[in-house]
Amino acid sequence: MMKFLVFIASLVLSFHLMAGKVTDLYGDESDKGQEIIRKYAKKISEFDSFLEAYLKHPNSFDEEKLTERRNKLIEDIKKDGDYLYVKLSTTLYPQNKNKYITIDVIRKDQPERLRFASLTPTKAFKSKQDLINEMIIFEDTAMTIMFNTSSTDDPCPVYHCIHNFQHPKLKPYLAKFNNGAVKQRQLIIDTLNSDPDPQRRAAAAFLIGHFKNPKEIVALLKPHVHDKDSGVRNDCIRVIAGTMATAKITNIDVKPFLELLDSPETTDRNKALVVLLYAAESENAKQIIKQQGGKNLLAILKLKQPNNHDVAYRILQKISGKNYGETDYAAWKVWLDTTAA
């Protein structure tokens, strides 16, 4: 059951809101892509409603049948669109009543994009009783608290936090992780570099956020932003972005993050975009982003998904000095065509 819940975790942020459904497709800007949205938006929305009901009353549903229904929907889209790969994801935002559904696709003439696709299910690993597992427990506890309480603006006491440490159930972990970052430093680094369990690699990335040197944090995590597991990628980039924001770091090699703009994973794109937004304070990075990432930024701008669209728009404004509208795609294309060469 837990694997299935991980897949749909992004669905449960704000069930108390009466959400509308907004559907995007990324990876095919042709008329065929728009036809897929028209044909499948309602079917995906209906399936999404079943998932929502499942999360509220898990004992009332057959998880296997839900998985079969999801897989059939994906296979139908692949067949109709003649795609190599299809992934469905849903995101909700606090204070936003819309539910944002993204259909990520890979066309058959883009096999290179499969390097970021989740093609094989993660196998089960036996847990170990160590600092890494303490972070995994902390993540689960923090997620439960986040889903059931109002968010707060308490500051993060380290370079990156999943959740602040003010809640009584979370408070003991701060000293434990800070001490572990010193005394069990090598365990953390070795786990990130070589542990076969992606959940442990991801937890190690969060623990590196408790290291003292922000430049070291970025240096240790950057080789893993293309990890074969999307969850590990997501957490490594997330910690890098948080560290850049806290330490005011702008000097970073942007190429790995520009490559992630081509990923068929919404979470890859949104986290990479945040890193690029901070890096765009550098004049050198602005030029590289414009030349190597402009086309993908424009494609992402056309999405309605806020964590993709909004950040892409801010990057375009920053690297251009222009203030075209966020849906004035023609103006942005003209600017890119005339300046990115």
Residue 19 pLDDT: 54
172-176: long-range pairs with CB below 8 Å, 24+? 173/134, 173/138, 176/131, 176/134
Residue type, 20: G
* Average pLDDT value over all residues in the chain: 90
Where residue 96 falls among pLDDT bands split at 50, 70, 90? Answer: confident
Per the DSSP assignment, residues forming a β-bridge with 105 are: 86
pLDDT the model gives residue 243: 98
Residue 328, helix vs strand vs coil: coil
Percent of the chain exceeding pLDDT 70 equals 91
What torsion do the CA atoms of 107, 319, 222, 243 make, to the nearest 10 degrees? -130
Please tell me the predicted confidence (pLDDT) of residue 273: 99
Indicate whether 236 pLDDT > 90: yes
The pair of structure tokens assigned to 307 is 């964590």
**11, 92 Cβ separation under 8 angstroms:** yes
Task: Give residue 13's pLDDT band: very low, low, confident or very high (50, 70, 90).
Answer: very low
Could you give the dihedral angle defined by the CA atoms of residues 160, 166, 170 and 174, in that order, rounded to the nearest 10 degrees? Answer: 50
pTM score: 0.89
pLDDT digits (tens, 9 = 90+) for 35-73: 999 999 999 988 888 887 776 777 776 778 888 999 999
Residue 3 reports pLDDT greater than 50 = no
SS (H, E, C) 16-64: CCCCEEEEEEECCCCHHHHHHHHHHHHHHHHHHHHHHHHHHCHHHCCHH
At 84, list the tokens.
Answer: 């190599």
What pLDDT is attached to residue 76?
98
Domains of the chain by start residue, with CATH: 22-113 (no CATH), 131-337 (1.25.10.10)
| Model confidence pLDDT, tens digit, residues 307-339 | 999 999 999 999 999 999 999 999 999 999 998
The pLDDT of residue 4 is: 36
| pLDDT tens profile 264-319 | 999 999 999 999 999 999 999 999 999 999 999 999 999 999 999 999 999 999 99
Residue 11 has pLDDT above 50, yes or no: no
pLDDT in the model for residue 147? 72
pLDDT at 105 over 80: yes
